[in-house]
Chains A and B, each alone.
Chain A
Amino acid sequence: MSERRAVPPWLQEKISASLPGAERRRFTHVGFMEKTLNAITKFMDDQLFSEQIAKERGLLQTLDPRAKLLSVFLLILTTALFHHAFPLILMNLWVLWLAKSSGVPLSLFTKRVWIVVPLFTGIVVLPSLFNVVRPGTPVWTVFRLEHPVTLRYLTIPADVAVTREGLAAAALLVLRAGASVSLAVLLTITTRWNTLLKALEVLCIPAIFIAVLDMSYRYIFLLLHTSNDMFLARKSRLTGRLRPKEARRFVASVMGNLWGKTTALGTEVHGAMLARGYTGTPKSVSHFVMKGSDKVWLALVCVVALSLLGVDRVIL
């Protein structure tokens, strides 16, 4: 897997600065620079990697991007409508199969979805499992108090227990979030950003908004590159410790400076556009052709969505 990475490993190495005088915990605030630099590198790496996956010839890559966008939107909407855990599990399994047949490495996919979602959503829902937050039918008593304790707004019952309702709600939320995130990740990882943006027209999003999105994505790389340079320049001049106050002032200065560069860049880009005959209305060139297989795919997605909804509403 790692050899498929676009950025070579030596470029991604996390350098931990062992600067003189930086050992004392209170002043080791060079960390904020490395974190920012690492975040920028990771962003670039992720983007290059998705481009690689998008170039492969899997199931989803061969579809018309408009059909793919519509189907993913439809499936996310269906996922939001389910009331039971069973159809959500089926949906998740189906999405995993889709990922596999599109050449997305399952280890990466599960890492992106099934480590992030349970970590984030799991922590969020954890308190709601107990009858302290929501009363319900106890399933497993964690510990017993001598009598219920009332703290202003919160009443802790004598038997602190995990409730059936809490478990059901947590399962619903984690499965729902998992399926939605999987679908969104699958869409973006199998479609090149430019193609995806052009396909947004199918959702009736105005061309001007798409043009802004498109340009914005391009300039993110330039601004990140500039930020990278500014952080690196500061870091390479750093010989001692940096007080938190100075560090905050430095980050704010970088932001202010970047804003100056941003406006100057905006003016230059505008001039360049005018010189190339820009009149104020964006024109998009797209050569999408909806093939027969795309229509079959859309029909298949509708059938899957409707039958899963049927399972959810009629059978269960």
Chain B
Amino acid sequence: MHIPDGYLSPSTCAAFAVIMIPAWSIAARNVKKWVKSKYIPLMAIGAAFSFTIMMYNVPIPDGTTAHAVGGGLLAIVLGPWAAMICVTVALAIQALLFGDGGVLTFTANCFNMALVLPSVSYLIYKLISQRTELTSPRRWIGAAVGSYIGLNLAACCAGLEFGLQPLLFHTAQNVPLYCPYPLTVALPSMLFAHIILAGPVEAVVTALVVRYLQAYKSDLLDMRTLATVPNDASPAPLSSRKMWWALGVLILLSPLGLLAQGTAWGEWGGDEMQKLLGFEPTGMVNLSDTWSHAPFADYSLPGFDSFWSSAVVYIFCAVLATAIISLLTYFFWKFQKSESKA
């Protein structure tokens, strides 16, 4: 899943940098809050651990071996924020030392493997394990399901990133400049390999490690117990968590509108006005041409005509818009906070 340089356009990488930079700073602050001065050694050795277990070969049923990524495992033992930092450091070492994953594509790789993979794995693990005891079977079941879904969602993101390249970046002669495969090829092939092979390996290994820890060192399954400094304020529970869930559901449901026929009331285009009124207002004709550079005009991309492929583009647009809005809100909030301090 390590995307090398040359497969993604520089603008795609820049877009992921815009997402990742605030994500890193939030993660660093969150982790530092509850591990204090222990932060550096714990994160450094955690990253070294993450790097080391990626080198282990795991036998798989066909007689060969495969690697586990360990992102889900790290999220379970360290929490999603600390896992994000550890995986980022491990990815940086891999990119610089081995050329495993590119230098420019580093931000995209971090988005897939350091943000999506651990956070999704952790959410599902928490959802299944709830507040059960550390030795409960629900813990390892949650670990297996979480790491499986987390890895596949990360692969899905990588597939989307690959698949959008030929649509957005090609020469006048229609020669793709970066990854040549459209979404209809890139997404299924990425998902196929991960659903069939890498996903099960990841799930089995994560579950086995969690069971090992349950049997011998169950306190290590909850990092807070070993890292918390006394009198340390634990991070406040997210009161807005339900709202984020609702937003996620809304994003997933956003393509439902595609099933409905016709245009939303008041959003008619020129040709629809022509049909409704019998003429097209001249003011509208003049104004409608002022902005014709939208990259995702009508929330769609050329070549995405079937319901499912337009649904993917819809969800992508929704996620992108939510990310931009959250970022702007975050920066506004920071700005306001610094002003009120002054």
B67 to chain A, nearest CB (A): 10
B208 within 8 A of A: yes
B123 to chain A, nearest CB (A): 21
State which residues 182-230 of A face B: CB under 8 Å.
184-185, 187-188, 193, 196, 206, 208-209, 211-220, 222-224, 227
B16 within 8 A of A: no
A39→B54 CA distance, assembly (Å):
11
Q: Which 8 A-B pairs have the closest CB atoms?
A: A252-B208, A180-B5, A215-B44, A256-B212, A176-B6, A177-B6, A280-B37, A219-B48
A180-B6, A256-B217, A259-B220 given; A188·B42 CB < 8 A: no
Q: Are A260 and B217 in contact (CB under 8 A)?
A: yes
Q: Give chain A's interface residue range (CB within 8 Å of chain B).
A: 35 or more
B71 to chain A, nearest CB (A): 13
A252 to chain B, nearest CB (A): 3
B66 to chain A, nearest CB (A): 9
B304 within 8 A of A: no
Instruction: Tell me which of B56, B171, B173, B177 contacts A251 (CB under 8 A).
Output: B56
State which residues 48-67 of B face A: CB under 8 Å.
48-49, 51-53, 55-61, 63, 65
State which residues 33-48 of A face B: CB under 8 Å.
33, 35-36, 39-40, 43, 47
Q: Which residues of A contact B323 (CB under 8 A)?
A: none
Write the chain B residue with the least CB distance to A135. Answer: B174
A2 within 8 A of B: no
Q: Which residues of A contact B176 (CB under 8 A)?
A: 134, 165, 169
A113 to chain B, nearest CB (A): 8
A52 within 8 A of B: no
A40→B173 CA distance, assembly (Å):
47
Q: Which residues of A contact B48 (CB under 8 A)?
A: 216-217, 219-220, 222-223, 262
Write the chain B residue with the least CB distance to A33. Answer: B57
A10 within 8 A of B: no
Q: Which residues of B contact A133 (CB under 8 A)?
A: 180-181, 185
A80-B6, A259-B209, A263-B226 given; A35·B43 CB < 8 A: no
Contact with B along A75-113 (1 / 0, CB 8 A): 011011101000000000000000000000000000010
* Most chain A C-beta atoms within 10 Å of own C-beta, residue among B40, B47, B73, B212: B40
A112→B98 CA distance, assembly (Å):
10
A48→B207 CA distance, assembly (Å):
36
* Most chain B C-beta atoms within 10 Å of own C-beta, residue among A29, A116, A209: A209
* Most chain A C-beta atoms within 10 Å of own C-beta, residue among B13, B41, B166, B217: B41
A55→B59 CA distance, assembly (Å):
39
State which residues 256-305 of A face B: CB under 8 Å.
256-260, 262-263, 265-267, 269-270, 273-274, 278-280, 282
Q: Are A83 and B41 in contact (CB under 8 A)?
A: no
Interface stretch of the complex, out of B88-96, B245-253, B325-333: B88-96
Q: Are A219 and B44 in contact (CB under 8 A)?
A: yes
Instruction: Tell me which of B4, B103, B174, B181 contacts A73 (CB under 8 A).
Output: B103
A219-B44, A262-B48, A269-B45 given; A136·B174 CB < 8 A: yes
Q: Are A212 and B89 in contact (CB under 8 A)?
A: yes
Contact with A along B175-188 (1 / 0, CB 8 A): 11111111011000
Q: Are A29 and B59 in contact (CB under 8 A)?
A: yes
Instruction: Tell me which of A32, A121, A227, A263 contacts B6 (CB under 8 A).
Output: A121
A166→B170 CA distance, assembly (Å):
12
B254 to chain A, nearest CB (A): 24
A29-B59, A32-B59, A39-B55 given; A270·B38 CB < 8 A: yes
Write the chain B residue with the least CB distance to A185. Answer: B99
Q: Are B5 and A76 in contact (CB under 8 A)?
A: yes
A212-B43, A256-B213, A278-B37 given; A249·B208 CB < 8 A: yes
A217-B93, A249-B208 given; A181·B99 CB < 8 A: yes
A181 to chain B, nearest CB (A): 5
A80-B9, A80-B10 given; A258·B53 CB < 8 A: yes
A168 within 8 A of B: yes
B167 within 8 A of A: no
A262→B82 CA distance, assembly (Å):
14
Q: Which residues of B contact A166 (CB under 8 A)?
A: 180
A160 within 8 A of B: no
Q: Which residues of A contact B61 (CB under 8 A)?
A: 244
A161 to chain B, nearest CB (A): 16
B102 within 8 A of A: yes
Q: Which residues of A contact B174 (CB under 8 A)?
A: 136, 165
Q: Which residues of B contact A32 (CB under 8 A)?
A: 57-59, 65
Q: Which residues of B contact A262 (CB under 8 A)?
A: 45-46, 48-49
A128-B181, A215-B41 given; A224·B6 CB < 8 A: no
A173-B6, A262-B46 given; A253·B40 CB < 8 A: no
B205 within 8 A of A: yes
B19 within 8 A of A: no
B334 within 8 A of A: no
Instruction: Tell me which of B42, B44, B180 contacts A125 (CB under 8 A).
Output: B180
